[in-house]
Structure 1
Amino acid sequence: MKKIITEESDNLTRLNKFISHNSNYSRREADKLIEDGRVTINNKPVTDMSIKVSEKDTVRIGKKLIKEDKNKMYTVIIYNKPKGELVTKKDPEGRRVIFDSLDKKFKHFIPVGRLDYASEGLVLLTDSVDVANKLMHSNLERIYKLKVNGFITPNVEEAMLHGLTLEDARAGGHEKSKITSMTFEPFIAYQIISNDRKYSKIKVGLSEGKNRELRRFFGHFGLDILDLKRFEFGGISLNNLPTGKSRYLTKDEYKDLRLFLNSDE
């Protein structure tokens, strides 16, 4: 009989994440299934929310096998998220989520990273856990356009150029967030489009996607982000995709994606 794996390694995935990525259940629903004792690993019931599994483990919900088909072809789509939608499958507060707008055939797709409720722009989604993980944990450039309520000062530019470590990074974070400190890598690039004491516009390129990273970064300098839009991820761009609409990757975008996935990066 296989041993239930609990020690962490590069090939382990948290159980609720594994279930949500390979079924129609959200992570919250997966947590409830685990809590209720309906999930087994290698035929043993589990109720530990922190447990992790590998591709060698057998995961079931009741009698239903939950397994990733690694031989299937993957699909990636782009969605132009409007403000006022959450990047999740379901919201316990009943707020609108991206899957309320997306075609039902994409209901099992996995979002690559997040954009918060008040932000808009490019969200990649895929039916492959492996592709989603590689993109989420990559250093591919994410490009945003921002509008803030004040000057982009030399201190802000210095931090964008050289990075920043904050013991208190709560400004700009969600009030319920447990994240209090954060390290910001130097921005890949930035362009100040306009700079004024009332509001300024700036275009920035990042190599990571931490929790409300830009809102926390500029919040440290007393700047609230009034508008935030992501329009490019790893060379894949919104182009003229209307807000609230989705599209498949083009042949050239798939070609570039395959080159990235097959690289040693």
Structure 2
Amino acid sequence: MDGYVMRLNQFISHNAKYSRREADILIEQGRVNIEKTKANTKSVLLEGQRVFIDGKYVKPKDEELYTVIVYHKPKGELVSKKDDRGRRVVYDTLGGKYMHFVPIGRLDFASEGVLLLTDNKKVAQSLMESDLEREYIIKINGKITEEMIRAMNEGIHIENASTGAHQKSKIYSMTFAPFIRYEIGKNDIHFSKLKVTIMEGKNRELRRFFAHFKADVMDLRRIRYGWINLNALPVGKIRFLNKDEYKQLHQFMGKIGKIDSFISKNNI
């Protein structure tokens, strides 16, 4: 489709304070218009078309301008807009000012630490899909065994990695790459502590990894995402990236842009 931009609900969630589900409800209620045309939930936008909610123009964000915040997510919050079970979500703490920000990756309900959020979808996708290092401090019950150390050094494929996963997860078989690095702080029969660095951290990767060795993760805190550190940011508080962190982010996005251009040019 010439000039295709994106689906209407996607455009609204990216450029306004509503989630895609909330955008669909607004559309169904007849509160959304594309120029002078009545919108529907299957609407897609073409380049140059303007969107209105309750008669108010929804201004597209400048893709070259973006904000990234660092949030010290506490335990007991979901990285989600809403929860059908009434549990607390990160936006309950962040407030309406940041409802249009999207999370860069996730931390599960029982985990805490660095959660990055941005108002730019391309930035979010690029950082999520990157191989940037993610660093965690972990506490497990029991000792760190030779089998665990071997798997951290060499990687491991687990055919049934459902233990430690979310109960609704449909991913069972997983391959765990070797850890980038790890430091054992305490190794005791009652509990052990270690700092680990990996490159993905998806689908409760660390909880599944240690569960395979009959060790439950008692505490998990992400202290670094790429070049962005948690440092002394208090639990439940946010900060903006500093000048040096933004400089590195702009350099990172510049590299991504060059890669995208190369792929497009060479039809890869």
2:172 counterpart of 1:177: no
Q: CA RMSD in A?
A: 3.1
2:141 counterpart of 1:149: yes
2:117 counterpart of 1:125: yes
Q: 1:162 aligns with which of 129, 151, 154?
A: 154
Moved more, 213-222 or 26-35: 26-35
Deviation, structure 1 residue 132: 0.5
Unpaired runs of 5+ in structure 1? 6-11
* CA 219–68 in structure 1, closer or farther in 2 if over 3 Å, else same: farther
Counterpart of 1:20 in structure 2 is: 13
2:266 counterpart of 1:237: no
Deviation, structure 1 residue 189: 0.8
Counterpart of 1:186 in structure 2 is: 178
- Structure 2: which amino acid aligns with 1:232? R
Deviation, structure 1 residue 224: 0.5
Counterpart of 1:116 in structure 2 is: 108
- Structure 2: which amino acid aligns with 1:93? R
Unpaired runs of 5+ in structure 2? 260-268
Tell me the distance in 2 between the aligned counterparts of 1:133 and 1:239. Answer: 24
Counterpart of 2:248 in structure 1 is: 256
2:74 counterpart of 1:85: no
Tell me the distance in 2 between the aligned counterparts of 1:178 and 1:212. Answer: 12
* CA 226–15 in structure 1, closer or farther in 2 if over 3 Å, else same: farther
Tell me the distance in 1 between the aligned counterparts of 2:170 and 2:29. Answer: 26
Q: Is the 1:37–1:46 Cα contact (8 Å) retained in structure 2? A: no
Deviation, structure 1 residue 165: 1.6
State the Cα deviation string for residues 236-263 of structure 1 (Å, max 9, x = none).
Answer: 1111111100001110111111111112
Deviation, structure 1 residue 151: 1.3
Tell me the distance in 1 between the aligned counterparts of 2:12 and 2:212. Answer: 37
Partner SS for 2:196: strand
CA radius of gyration, larger in? 2
Counterpart of 1:202 in structure 2 is: 194
Partner SS for 1:160: helix
Deviation, structure 1 residue 203: 0.4
* CA 31–166 in structure 1, closer or farther in 2 if over 3 Å, else same: farther
* CA 31–103 in structure 1, closer or farther in 2 if over 3 Å, else same: closer
Tell me the distance in 2 between the aligned counterparts of 1:211 and 1:220. Answer: 14
* CA 36–246 in structure 1, closer or farther in 2 if over 3 Å, else same: same
Deviation, structure 1 residue 57: 9.7
- Structure 2: which amino acid aligns with 1:128? N
TM-score (structure 1 length as normaliser) = 0.82
Tell me the distance in 1 between the aligned counterparts of 2:11 and 2:148. Answer: 39
Deviation, structure 1 residue 15: 7.6
